[in-house]
Structure 1
Amino acid sequence: MPEIRFQIELPDGSQETCYSPSLVVKEYFAPGNEYALTDFIERSRTALNIASDRVQAKYGSPCGLALGQLAQIEAMAGKYNHVAEPKVRLLKFIE
């Protein structure tokens, strides 16, 4: 299963590298695009759950790394509750 990483820029300008065990994230994000934080979380949730489901279908158990990445993204979002209209930019995919 081809895995991929994607680099994002958070509302405070810091950058993070995220992981997906599947290229499905390319269907939900495009390099250079900016997403409202809530939209970014929803897209991440959908893509990473699909990725985890694909791992489960192939190997018999969900992908802990994908689910862990989703948990990190959701936890990160809480740090920006005070920011008006927080945005996340997808900088690039790392294959």
Structure 2
Amino acid sequence: MEIPLSDLASHLDDALAAARAGEDVILTEGGLPVAKLGPVESASLLERLAEEGVIAVPASDRAVPRLPQAEAAKDALSSLLGRLRR
């Protein structure tokens, strides 16, 4: 979106709405760009990626599942250590 500086006062609400929506607003003087109004990147990278659906934030109440392979390895290691101690 481009707005001449001379029209900025009358279109300020539109310019701010566009910036809130993520659009860059180019301010011009005599047809030449002189300034840019745009959105502020205040969200952290992880928050932004979660909002965009790129990543999923894990539930805080979800327990880490136990894998059968890990349990078997733990049992095998315990058994080996027990035999070595004899």
TM class by smaller structure: under 0.3
Greater share of residues in strand: 1
TM-score, L = length of structure 1:
0.25
Larger Rg: 2
Higher RCO (CA < 8 A, seq sep 6+): 1
